[in-house]
Structure formats: structure tokens, C-alpha cells
Amino acid sequence: MKKRTHYELLQSGAGYYTALIGMGLLIVAGLAATWYMEHYGHIVTGMSNEIVWGMPHVFAVFMIVAASGVLNVASIGTVFGKAPYKPLGRLSAVMAAAVLAGGLMILVLDLGRPDRLIVAMTKYNFKSIFAWNIYLYNGFFAVVLLYLYTQLSSKAGVRRFYKPAGTLAFVWRLILTTGTGSIFGWLVARQAYDLAIFAPMFIALSFSFGLAVFILLMVALMRGDDRAVGHELVARMGRLLGVFVASAAYFTIVWMLTDLYAAEHRSAVAYLFASGNIYSWLYWVGFIGLGTIAPLLLVFSNSARSSHAPVITAALLVILGGMALMYFIIIGGQSYPLVLFPGMEESSSFNDGMIASYAPSLPEILLGLGGVAVAVTITLVAAKTLHILPTTLADAEVDPHLAAEAEGAGLKKAA
Amino acid sequence: MTEHSASNETRKAPESAAAEMDAARREFMRNIAAASVLSLGGGLTLYAAAPREALAKKPGEPLDPKKRWGMLIDTTKCTSGCEKCVEACKKENGWEAEPGSRTDVQWIRKVDVKDPATGFMASLPVMRQHCANPPCVDVCPTGASMQRADGIVQVNMHTCIGCRYCMMACPYKARSFVHEDIPEERKRFHAPMGKGCVTSCNFCAHRVDSGRIPACAEACPEGAMLFGDLNDPNSAISQRLKEIPSYQIRADLGTDNGIRYTRLP
Amino acid sequence: MRAIRQGMTAALLGGVVFAAVLGVAQAGDLAPKVPIDKSKGDCVLPGDQMRKQHMNILMHRRDDTMFNGVRGGKRSLQACLTCHMVKDETTGKPVTIESPKHFCRVCHDFTAVKVDCWSCHKSVPEETATQAMLKDGKLGGTGSMFARLRGFVQGGAND
């Protein structure tokens, strides 16, 4: 017996406006940081001719990757027909667009000439994966909005296209993440990148980052508005997160082993993964330890069935580990010098053959946080103006099977 | 030279008659002077050949797409510590860089290379390699990173948005990001560069366009940098490349560089 | 009360109309004159056409230089800067874009249009290699003499 899901706008409590004001302040700080960076030039950041992409790109790539993963929740309901995920489709679509918008804002505001954004939108070099991505990102917004329209419309004729629209959005997001991964995978000159595995690796990462972001924001919105969230639903999402997290880690291990096997890449990969520098720590402790193993233990623990805490902690750790991995990939990968003369020692006034150092500056971090705040703000405003948040996500309301499972688990525990 | 003057007539630039007369006068002066330079002695033939060949294009005339500009650097003549080419480039194109600076613009630098296994050392200038298949041009989203029909790779800073993807893609570390404002007195008229854009060696396109050779090649006291048209089998550089083995940095990447070296470590 | 309000409205309207009429009548005199040294010849187009077309001419030339290597001559930026150069009264040197007297700013300040040229481009004409050589006169060793000779022989794009 399937119940009809009801959606309601967020209540306007003090908490809602406090959150909104807090996010607003972060956005203002991010914009001020942008103004500072653009006024004085990138000289005031930690970025240089060696580390050309810095902290803003760590935030931006994380968010762009996460955005396509956030949409998975909707896809699981629509494309794969999993009933418990169906009530979350609307929120998932809105949040995906919001997170992408936040990530893109960071990317755009970090440009050397953000005032020339119109050039990026009117002049295309179709051989550039970056130019393709501009289409993929803009297209993502269009496809997701279309998908949202088929879900929100009161016309049965429009709602009929809910499944094709959802399938299109799912395919689109897979292509989008392939594009994002290929930004790095197709850099033939860089020892640390230059592998086709970057595309599927980024897809796996998007699954885990996106679901973690979704779980956190969804539980925060629901509980902040005093709406019920079923334990079994969250536990189930947590177990899925576990599968995603493990597959993402698998891809990074294959990346490491592939490069270790090739003598040409060995020194670069040894430098990144096993030299005891900040990047090795970020990978093994940050991504593998905190971002993979700890969440796996948490989501598959018994307490995950009776409390939200383990899954929420796991989601937070996945995000933390994900940021560590992004820093590892983007900053670490650039810090290894370009090899002009294989096997030789190089030195020059332009730091040839030297490991590049990088320290993120405050404006870069503020810009990144500003982008996060934009994503949260869009989600908050959308939840207040559109019917996207279910009135309840109690297990019995979402899916009778879930309720039965929860009951069974409770009985087992009692016994 | 007859072939060149013929092409001049077919492609007249829309300028005044006075400018054309001026150009003709300059051409005459150059021919006289080139002849006198030629007579200075056999050792100077290399110098004379390169500019004469470059003279093919006169100011106001569009470039010749049949050409491909390149350079042969005789690394055996290049010594560690000699920075004449770098100094000339700085002066010509208006950039300054503290040695080891991580944010200053550098169009050309001397790289000292040492084989750790044998102790063999070499020193060579590295600048933008003017690839036939440039990765920077492939990745640039707006097409600002561009290749001219005559093979010169340059940044069209009018459409550069400062995304720095070209710097990620370039295998030769040939590009710099302009991290801060360039003061008016350091700006060069023919080499504009400004905060927020990526900049790099353009083979002194302004010189090449008016029949001169790049500043680095001109400044090399050893005459170790031979500039010319790789597509012309009779050019000095083509003749030399036919005689001796030459190498490209990271030839394995298939970028087909316009800059070739007589010996690479 | 109503009478006062109507009166005020009428006065305001009258003022606007008066200002508009005055503006149209005075437009020719109000529009700033771009300084030009006519002794170097006429501009590419007559002044009133230049006012409308200069950006298109510049843009066309810009692409012609970037893609086709067309340099020098009357339409070059160097030629614009040379004929339109304004010298500072006290120092006698050409003013840069920092000065409101710079020929670009004379109009662009008036129309409140900000141009993007001068963050990269030099805003005063540059001495060409030949000019610089004639000015400092001295010749160094044989090496530099040779270089100077070659510089002279080859001329420059911007001569």
C-alpha cells in the first residue's frame, strides 16, 4: 500500500532566517575576497606559475563533481525505480543545480578576467574539453530544470515525461562528470594526470561526494523544520554511500598502481603517494582513513539502524576526505615538476625541476566558502518557495518495506 | 626577392600611397645594407642569411601561410651562465623576473641540465616551442591561445579569460600568468601584457612581421640560434637541419616543435 | 495643497523640457574635441565618422594583427597614439592614460565608457629602435655596433 507523498514549504522560523543571514555573510565575504584578488591580481593568492590552480579550484571541482552526484538520488528513484528515493527527487534536482551553481561561481570568480565571462560564453574552441564543459554545465541546468518541471507540474500531460526527463538528466550527468574528470585525464604533459581512469574515477567520486552532501543537507532541512526522517531510510542511504565510497577508493588505488607500474611515472606517483609530504598524508589519512575506512565502519555499524548520528558523521567524513583528495589531486599533481628532460636533473631561474610549494591564502578559502554558501542559499530559498520538501520521511510513509525492515531490526535488537 | 615583390603587388594593404613609398624606400635601404653585410666576410653569412630570409614579409602585409617559422639552437655553443638571449628578450618584450620568482613573467629561461648517472652537463635556452600540435591551443576554451598560419603560437590576450588551463596543458612550462599590474614604463608597445591574462613568447611576431629575427636570436653572441622558415627547403635553417641531427624537447609527446636543438642531454 | 503639487509637477516638467532643448542645442559644443596633430596628415576617417566607427576599425585591425600579422601604417594603434598624443605642459612628455587629458579619456570620461585597452597596452607612443639609436648616438663595441647596424638595416614595424 503506497501512500501519496505530500510536499510543503519550509516554515519561516527564526532558525531559517538565521541560516539565511549566515550564508549571506559568507557570500559577502566571498565576493569581497574576489574583489581583493581581482584588484591586486593573483599575486595576493598562494597561486603561482607552478600551482596555477589553487584552493578555489579544490572547492569548485569538489562541488561540480558533487553536484552531479546529488542528482543521483533523484535518478535512483526515477530511472531505477527505487520507491524510498522517489519522494526525494525534487529536492535532489534542486540541490544538484544549486551545488553546481555554487561551484561554477567559484570557478568564474577566480578567473584572471572574470569581467570577460561573456567571451567564454560567446567564443568557443570546440577542441577544448573546457569549452565542452561550458556546454555540459549550462545544459545540466536546463536538463535538471526540465526534470524538475515534470515533477512539479500539476498537468498530468507534463508529469508523464517524468521518467524520460529523469533518464536524460542521468545520462547528462554521467557525461558531465566524464568531462570534469577528463580536464585532468587529458593533460598529456603532467606526470600525475594523463590517464583515462580520471573520467570513471570522477564519476565514482561524484556518487560518493554527492550522496554525502545530499544526506547532510536533507537531514538538516527536515530536522530543522521538525519533520520526521526515518532511521531505516537514512541507514539505507548510508549503506549506499558505503558502496560508493569503496568504489571511489578503488579507482584511486588503480590510478596509483597503474602509474607505479610504469617506470616513466613512478617517481611522480611515489612523490604523491609515498614520500611522507603533505599530499601523502592527505591521501592516506585524509581520504583513505577518514574519508573511506571510517565512513565504511560507521555506515555498516549496527547503531546506524537506530540512530542518524553514524551516517551523518560518515557523510561529514566523506566530504572532508573528498576535499583532501581534491587537494591531493589538484595541488599535489601540479606540485610535481614538468619533466622536460626525462631522467635528468634540471635547474633554472623559472624553477624547472623543483617541487612547487603552495599555501592557500585567506581570500581563496573565503571565495570557496562563498560558493558553498551560494549552494546552501539557493537550496534554502527553493525549499521556501517550491514544493520540494516532503512533509515526512518517516519509514512507514516512505516505503512500507522500509518500515517492516525497521521493525524487524527493532525486534531483533530487543530479542 | 622578385617573388616577394610580386606578392606585394597582389596583396596591397589598404594604406596610403605615402606609406607604400616609405616601405619601398626601406626595402631599398635593406637591400643595400644586406649586400654590404654579406660582403663583410664568410663568418657572418649565417647572420646575413637569416634576416634576408625573414625579410620576405613587409610591414602592412599579411603573413605568408606557406611558411613555418622555426629555430635551430646549437646547444654545443651554449654555455651555462650566459643569459644574453634572456636579457635581450626582457628588454625587447618588457618583462622582468627575479631569479626563482614563482609569480613573475618569464618568456625564456636558461635551463641547466645534468645527467645524474654520468655527470654530463648542458645548458640551453627554453622558450615557447611553437609546436605544430600545441596542447595549449587545444585546451583553450575561448581560442585565445592560438596558432598563426605561419606556425607562431601566441596568446590573443583580447579573448583570454585567465583560466590558466593552457598552463596546465603546456609540457614545456612555457607560459606565465600575469599576477599583477604591469607599470606603464615597463610596457612595450608591441608586446602588450596585462594582469589576469596568460602570456608567453610569440617568437617576436612584431619583428618577424617586419622582416626581422627574434631578439634572442639576434642577441646570441655565439650565433647559436638560427631562425628561419622550416617549410622552405632552401632556407639556411632547412639546409642545416638536413645536414645535422636535431632534436625536440619531449618529442615523444608528438607536439612537433618549431624549436629544435642540435643536441639534447 | 493640490495646487501646489500641480505647480511643482509643472515646474519640474518644464525644467526637464528646458534642459533637453538646451542639451540638444548645445550638444555640438559640449562634446569634447579629440586632440589631433593635423600636421601628420588626416585621420583614417573624418572626425564625425571616427566618433562612430573607431571601435570597429580598432577591432578589425586588432584581429588583422593577431591572425594575419598586419602591422604598421595609418590604422595601427601606434599611429593613433602618435597623431593624438597630448604633451604634458610642465614635463613636455606625452601624457599616459593616467591623465584625463589623454585623447581617449577626453571622450571616454565624458561618455562614461570604460575601455579595456590600457591594462595591457602602452598608452603613449613608443620610440622605435631607429629613433632610440639616433637619440643616444653613442656606439659601443663591435658586437653592439653590428647589432645596431642590423637594427637600422632591418627597420621596425612601427617606424
How many angstroms separate the CA atoms of A297 and A300, rounded?
6
Residues in Cβ contact with A246 at an 8 Å cutoff, skipping those fewer than 6 apart: A292, A296
Task: Look at residue C157 and tell me whether its pLDDT is greater than 50.
Answer: no
Residue B120 near chain A (CB below 8 Å): no
3 state SS of A284 = helix
Substitution target from B46, B153, B189 for chain C, most C beta carbons within 10 A: B189
Substitution target from C42, C55, C71 for chain B, most B beta carbons within 10 A: C71
How many angstroms separate the CA atoms of B226 and B220, rounded?
10
Q: β-pairing, B69-73 with B259-261?
A: parallel
Residue A154 banded pLDDT, cuts 50, 70, 90: confident
Asked if residue C120 lies in contact with residue B156, where contact means CB atoms within 8 angstroms, the answer is no
Distance (Å) from the C-alpha of residue C10 to the closest C-alpha of chain B? 50
pLDDT (mean) for C80-84: 92
Asked if residue C91 lies in contact with residue C49, where contact means CB atoms within 8 angstroms, the answer is no
Which tens digit of pLDDT belongs to each residue from A127-139? 999 999 999 999 9
How many angstroms separate the CA atoms of B24 and B29, rounded?
9
Contact check, Cβ <8 Å, B55/C154: yes
3 state SS of B64 = coil
Other C-beta atoms closer than 10 Å to the C-beta of C93 total 10
Asked if residue A275 lies in contact with residue A267, where contact means CB atoms within 8 angstroms, the answer is no
Residue B176 near chain A (CB below 8 Å): yes
User: How far is the CA of B127 from the CAs of A56, A62, B80, B182, C73, in angstroms?
Assistant: 29, 34, 16, 21, 30
Residues C146, C71 share a domain: no
Name the residue of chain C whose CA is nearest to B221's CA.
C143
Name the residue of chain A whose CA is nearest to B160's CA.
A113
How many angstroms separate the CA atoms of A89 and A145, rounded?
12
Compute the half-sphere exposure of residue B78: CA atoms within 13 Å on the CB side of its CA.
31
Q: Is residue B12 included in any domain, yes or no?
A: no
Contact check, Cβ <8 Å, C70/B60: yes
Contact check, Cβ <8 Å, A124/B110: no
Q: Is residue A78 included in any domain, yes or no?
A: yes
Q: Is residue A54 included in any domain, yes or no?
A: yes
How many angstroms separate the CA atoms of B1 and A129, rounded?
44
Residues in Cβ contact with B218 at an 8 Å cutoff, skipping those fewer than 6 apart: B88, B212, C147, C150
Q: Is residue A296 included in any domain, yes or no?
A: no
Compute the half-sphere exposure of residue B70: CA atoms within 13 Å on the CB side of its CA.
27
Contact check, Cβ <8 Å, B189/C122: yes
Contact check, Cβ <8 Å, B171/A111: no
Candidates A345, A353, A329; CA nearest to A53 is A329
Contact check, Cβ <8 Å, B163/A343: no
Helical ranges in A225-361 per DSSP H: 231-261, 263-274, 278-281, 294-299, 309-327, 333-335
How many angstroms separate the CA atoms of C74 and C79, rounded?
6
C127 vs C114: which has the higher pLDDT: C114
Task: Look at residue B216 and tell me whether its pLDDT is greater than 90.
Answer: yes
Give me the CATH number covering residue B257: 3.30.70.20
Q: Is residue B24 included in any domain, yes or no?
A: no
Set of chain C residues whose Cβ sits within 8 Å of the Cβ of B221: 143
Set of chain B residues whose Cβ sits within 8 Å of the Cβ of C154: 30, 51, 55, 207, 210-212
- Report the alpha-carbon angle B31-B32-B35, nearest 5: 85
Task: Look at residue A411 and tell me whether its pLDDT is greater than 90.
Answer: no
Domain with A140, as residue range(s), is 14-237+355-396
Other C-beta atoms closer than 10 Å to the C-beta of B65 total 12
Which tens digit of pLDDT belongs to each residue from A44-103? 999 999 999 999 999 999 999 999 999 999 999 999 988 889 999 999 999 999 999 999
Which tens digit of pLDDT belongs to each residue from B40-57? 444 444 444 444 444 556
Asked if residue C114 lies in contact with residue C139, where contact means CB atoms within 8 angstroms, the answer is no
- Which of B149, B188, B194 faces C126 most closely, judged by CB atoms? B188
Residues in Cβ contact with B156 at an 8 Å cutoff, skipping those fewer than 6 apart: B143, B144, B145, B146, C66
Question: Which bin fits C112, alpha (ψ -120 to 50), beta or left (φ > 0)?
Answer: left
User: For chain B, how many structural domains are there in total?
Assistant: 1
Q: Which chains touch A (3 or more CB pairs under 8 A)?
A: B
Substitution target from C40, C119, C144 for chain B, most B beta carbons within 10 A: C119
How many angstroms separate the CA atoms of B126 and C146, rounded?
25
Window 58-117 of B: residues touching A by CB (8 A cutoff) are 86, 97, 99-104, 106, 109-117
Residue A1 banded pLDDT, cuts 50, 70, 90: very low
| Residue C128: predicted pLDDT | 59
How many angstroms separate the CA atoms of A374 and A410, rounded?
40
Set of chain B residues whose Cβ sits within 8 Å of the Cβ of A41: 178-181, 195-196
Set of chain B residues whose Cβ sits within 8 Å of the Cβ of C94: none
- Which of C96, C153, C156 faces B34 most closely, judged by CB atoms? C153
Residues C73, C20 share a domain: no
Q: Is residue A294 included in any domain, yes or no?
A: no
- Which of B19, B188, B212 faces C154 most closely, judged by CB atoms? B212
Substitution target from C43, C44, C61, C66 for chain B, most B beta carbons within 10 A: C66
Residue B6 banded pLDDT, cuts 50, 70, 90: very low
Burial category of A366 from C-beta neighbours within 10 Å (exposed 0-12, middle 13-18, buried 19 and up): buried
3 state SS of A347 = strand
How many angstroms separate the CA atoms of C148 and C139, rounded?
8
Q: Is residue B7 included in any domain, yes or no?
A: no
Contact check, Cβ <8 Å, B113/A346: yes
> Kind and range of the H or E element at B155?
strand B153-155
- Which of B55, B148, B196 faces C67 most closely, judged by CB atoms? B148
Residues C4, C61 share a domain: no
User: For chain A, how many structural domains are there in total?
Assistant: 1
Which tens digit of pLDDT belongs to each residue from A353-391? 999 999 999 999 999 999 999 999 999 999 999 999 999
Which tens digit of pLDDT belongs to each residue from B161-187? 999 999 999 999 999 999 999 998 889
Contact check, Cβ <8 Å, B206/C73: no
- Which of B51, B148, B154 faces C154 most closely, judged by CB atoms? B51
Q: What share of chain A is helix, strand, coil (3-state, %, to 5)?
A: 75, 0, 25
Candidates B139, B174, B188, C125; CA nearest to A338 is B174
Task: Look at residue B90 and tell me whether its pLDDT is greater than 90.
Answer: yes
DSSP letters along C21-55, please?
A: HHHHHHHHHHSPPPP--GGG---SS-HHHHHHHHH
Residues C57, C120 share a domain: yes
Other C-beta atoms closer than 10 Å to the C-beta of B245 total 8
| Residue A407: predicted pLDDT | 62
Domain with C26, as residue range(s), is 1-30
Asked if residue A323 lies in contact with residue A57, where contact means CB atoms within 8 angstroms, the answer is no
Give me the CATH number covering residue A128: 1.20.1630
Residue C4 banded pLDDT, cuts 50, 70, 90: low
How many angstroms separate the CA atoms of A206 and A211, rounded?
8
Residues facing residue A81 across a β-bridge: none
Residue with cell 565618422: C49
Contact check, Cβ <8 Å, A340/B171: yes
3 state SS of C57 = helix
Q: Is residue B17 included in any domain, yes or no?
A: no
Candidates A374, A365, A319, A369; CA nearest to A20 is A374
| Residue A116: predicted pLDDT | 92
Contact check, Cβ <8 Å, C69/B205: yes
Residues C121, C131 share a domain: no
| Residue C138: predicted pLDDT | 38
Residues C46, C16 share a domain: no
Asked if residue A379 lies in contact with residue A225, where contact means CB atoms within 8 angstroms, the answer is no
Residues C23, C93 share a domain: no
Substitution target from A128, A186, A267, A334 for chain B, most B beta carbons within 10 A: A128
Residue A79, all three cell numbers = 530511472
Which tens digit of pLDDT belongs to each residue from C48-78? 899 899 999 999 999 999 999 998 888 899 9
| Residue B30: predicted pLDDT | 57
Q: Is residue A85 included in any domain, yes or no?
A: yes
Asked if residue B92 lies in contact with residue B191, where contact means CB atoms within 8 angstroms, the answer is yes
Distance (Å) from the C-alpha of residue C31 to the closest C-alpha of chain B? 29
B64 vs B60: which has the higher pLDDT: B64
Distance from CA of residue A6 to its chain's centroid?
Answer: 28
- Which of C69, C122, C150 faces B187 most closely, judged by CB atoms? C122
Burial category of B110 from C-beta neighbours within 10 Å (exposed 0-12, middle 13-18, buried 19 and up): buried
Task: Look at residue B87 and tell me whether its pLDDT is greater than 60.
Answer: yes
Q: Is residue A413 included in any domain, yes or no?
A: no
3 state SS of B149 = coil
Task: Look at residue C134 and tell me whether its pLDDT is greater than 90.
Answer: no
Residues C16, C55 share a domain: no
How long, in residues, is chain A? Answer: 415
A157 vs A401: which has the higher pLDDT: A157
Read off the DSSP letter of residue B204: T
Contact check, Cβ <8 Å, C69/B208: yes
| Residue B259: predicted pLDDT | 97
How many angstroms separate the CA atoms of A322 and A316, rounded?
10
Q: β-pairing, B175-177 with B198-200?
A: antiparallel
Task: Look at residue C11 and tell me whether its pLDDT is greater than 70.
Answer: no
Candidates B194, B114, C130; CA nearest to A352 is B114
% of chain A exceeding 70 in pLDDT: 96
Q: Is residue B32 included in any domain, yes or no?
A: no
Q: Is residue A333 included in any domain, yes or no?
A: no
Domain with B199, as residue range(s), is 66-261
User: How far is the CA of A346 from the CAs of A340, B129, B252, in angstroms?
Assistant: 8, 18, 19
Residue C78 near chain B (CB below 8 Å): yes
Which tens digit of pLDDT belongs to each residue from A288-335? 999 999 999 999 999 998 899 999 999 999 999 999 999 999 999 999
Name the residue of chain B whose CA is nearest to C65's CA.
B62
For residue B72, report the phi and psi dihedrals to the nearest 5 degrees. Answer: -110, 120
